[in-house]
Structure 1
């Protein structure tokens, strides 16, 4: 009976930790989908141009998430061990170093954007739209990274409410500014495609101002002893961050390869694929929220040596993922034609998006399991295992199935192949999790 009560208490705590992040992720990804829906009204060429930028945007996000995973793990472990001073120093270090790294990456992506997008298959017309959009988009990506690093600090301290509220606030600001800056108001015609990026940049700036003020008000950052802390922490930070960043960089690389395959099928296919990519992240909002709320909790258990609770948390989170994601996937697949009609203005794009939704959305159940296992591996001292699992998901399961399907059956085969790849990845992650949790003390412990 005590075990049952403990399970209920664990479920309630997981819900309380996750729902603010789920709402925040829903708002954040919702405004990205709204961006694409507004841009779709500008034309297929503009939507295709935005779709070509997704892989490079995911590249920036991958690096920032990898750094965020590492810092959240180290801070939560420091808090679990009662080292509050070290946690404050680590918070300051990640905000400064992370901002610098993402800034350098953004400058490099601007300098070399023409050959990169040509390599991905963008034609002259698409490249002309990309050129006016990419600069403000990189600025918004840098601001978003700074905001994400501050969220990581709050999550490491167990506060998921403020990040969730800030995601909602940023989304509302973006939602108000999007139509004004894209289409204009009155006699002003607006900025068109770049207006979407400027709306996002302003929204992230508002969130960053509020979050920074709260962070320093709570005294979760310190300016004292940063250099000695950096010398002490760079090895464990790198031990987590490097594999985590490689894991997070795999999806952008896979997205680049996937968009190059899609580009060979036509402009409307690229536009539909871009909308499906936005819909993918939105439909995975609960999974994404758990990958944010769960690792700090697992990290604190790791620091305290509580492996019993770690096992219970992982099993509970996978059950939630299976039930929620499968139900949502089937529901959205049944309503695919109406959802595609709401997102795309072009009838051809609507038909192609409908096919993607029907195949891909239910398969995200398996993808969600894989994402949770990878996220937990980074928090529990298995960064290399998590990196290998992430790589295998993309380059052994997903991309080969997608490419083979497109080669033999065209657009229909591409959609089916991507779905099969997700299912195979989920089965592989399930087996990895069972093996790890059956021997926790033998598998863990090489990252302190």
Structure 2
């Protein structure tokens, strides 16, 4: 999963690097769309968390037939929900992007880019639901492999569709979205062929299963989805703060956001692969294994992210020069990289605690932790820093918010796992 996440997020970063070569205005336009793209991802991840938890618990309890019905439901209902969400975001694009701070030039660029970008988001969501089925059944190899395949396909298509070839001038900014659409369609084709031979899907009893599983599904998906939707909301508020600093700062912030998700690849891989394992332990009542898994995951997250963060901070001028399309954006990105990456060690702790909470039967606590991370720590520190010190203050404030959130999540995990029943088991 780590290899798959690295390739998936790597091509998104390279995608932005290609767009940066078109100029600051196209890069800023793409940066304005990132919060809404994260909104779609938040919905799909919330649904995927719930279905992976229910399927893994069903498998842990020996309910194979039920796991098949759940697998079919997530593909059908998930595709429909994401399609309706995408339609709403398409119809409301003008007022939404104006509220985020986009001006007339950016709105024109966004209008051409947003349609194919929404189509690629829908295809990516359906592919993610397929990944959730494989992860729930203990297979992380195929999702990881498909992430690599789709990333390579996108990497090959990006320069062709953005810049063109021969006498064809290319599509510019929309070409980046169309490259992703074609890459995701390749992944969907492979996923469909593999699912056809697994026997993990069912055609009968779906309506009855939907009625039976709706309440437990919403009990997990509701808090999980809210937890996943809060980061896009926070990202919208953050980019509205950054937009007041200038177009160059918006472009740099967009690149930093891409680099953030890439640098968190190990943590993201664990948030995908750890919950199904924890869910099986939960279904079997094996709390000692839960304690061991969480200790190991947190150690890996802190050591890896701290080492990588310090390396990125030291190499900030060279990394920024390689990614940015202008000297001004490169300078602003360097400032952000000096402060943000080392704080991702604490952010990784918070992400793992929230992910574990959804699998271990305390989704409301996980949701509250997500809310506290963003709205009690991250955004207030970021806004105050920007007000006091411009872009350097914003970067320092965001890093401080991540640190406070990680400490709070660690305290929540210790208190939760120290409950009498779980402490005796562990």
Deviates more, 1:30-39 or 1:218-227: 218-227
Match of 1:125 in 2: 105
| Cα-to-partner distance string for 1:162-214 (whole Å, 9 max, x where unaligned) | 00000000000000000000000000000000000000011011001101211
Gaps of 5+ in 1: 1-20, 444-448
| Partner SS for 1:101 | helix
**CA drift at 1:113:** 0.2
- 1:249-264 pair list within 5 angstroms: 249-264=229-244
Match of 2:270 in 1: 290
Gaps of 5+ in 2: none
| Partner SS for 1:253 | helix
Are residue 334 (structure 1) and residue 314 (structure 2) matched? yes
Match of 1:180 in 2: 160
Match of 1:68 in 2: 48
Judged with a 3 Å threshold, the aligned counterparts in structure 2 of structure 1 residues 440 and 54 are, in CA distance, closer, same or farther, namely: farther
Match of 2:397 in 1: 417
**8 Å contact kept, 2:8–2:150:** yes
**8 Å contact kept, 2:287–2:422:** no
Are residue 427 (structure 1) and residue 407 (structure 2) matched? yes
Match of 1:153 in 2: 133
- 1:309-348 pair list within 5 angstroms: 309-348=289-328
Are residue 209 (structure 1) and residue 189 (structure 2) matched? yes
**8 Å contact kept, 1:307–1:440:** no
Are residue 277 (structure 1) and residue 257 (structure 2) matched? yes
Q: C-alpha separation between the residues in 1 aligned to 2:197 and 2:271?
A: 27
Instruction: Work out which of the residue numbers 269, 283, 288 in structure 2 matches 1:308.
Output: 288
Q: C-alpha separation between the residues in 2 aligned to 1:196 and 1:188?
A: 16
| Cα-to-partner distance string for 1:402-431 (whole Å, 9 max, x where unaligned) | 000000111110000000000000000010
Judged with a 3 Å threshold, the aligned counterparts in structure 2 of structure 1 residues 51 and 379 are, in CA distance, closer, same or farther, namely: same
| Cα-to-partner distance string for 1:30-52 (whole Å, 9 max, x where unaligned) | 00001100000000000000000
Judged with a 3 Å threshold, the aligned counterparts in structure 2 of structure 1 residues 192 and 382 are, in CA distance, closer, same or farther, namely: same
- 1:4-403 pair list within 5 angstroms: 21-403=1-383
**CA drift at 1:442:** 7.0
Q: CA RMSD in A?
A: 0.8
**8 Å contact kept, 2:242–2:253:** yes
| Partner SS for 1:95 | helix
| Partner SS for 2:203 | coil
Q: C-alpha separation between the residues in 2 aligned to 1:44 and 1:152?
A: 37
| Cα-to-partner distance string for 1:278-306 (whole Å, 9 max, x where unaligned) | 00000000000000000000000000000
Q: C-alpha separation between the residues in 2 aligned to 1:370 and 1:252?
A: 16
Q: C-alpha separation between the residues in 1 aligned to 2:149 and 2:305?
A: 26
Q: C-alpha separation between the residues in 1 aligned to 2:275 and 2:184?
A: 24
| Partner SS for 1:42 | coil
**CA drift at 1:441:** 3.3
Q: C-alpha separation between the residues in 1 aligned to 2:255 and 2:199?
A: 41
TM-score by length of 1: 0.94
Q: C-alpha separation between the residues in 2 aligned to 1:439 and 1:324?
A: 29
**CA drift at 1:224:** 1.3
**CA drift at 1:380:** 0.5
**8 Å contact kept, 1:49–1:126:** yes
Are residue 438 (structure 1) and residue 403 (structure 2) matched? no
Q: C-alpha separation between the residues in 1 aligned to 2:244 and 2:269?
A: 34
TM-score by length of 2: 0.99
Q: C-alpha separation between the residues in 2 aligned to 1:217 and 1:53?
A: 38
**8 Å contact kept, 1:369–1:430:** yes
- For these two proteins, the number of residue pairs brought into alignment is 423
**CA drift at 1:440:** 6.5
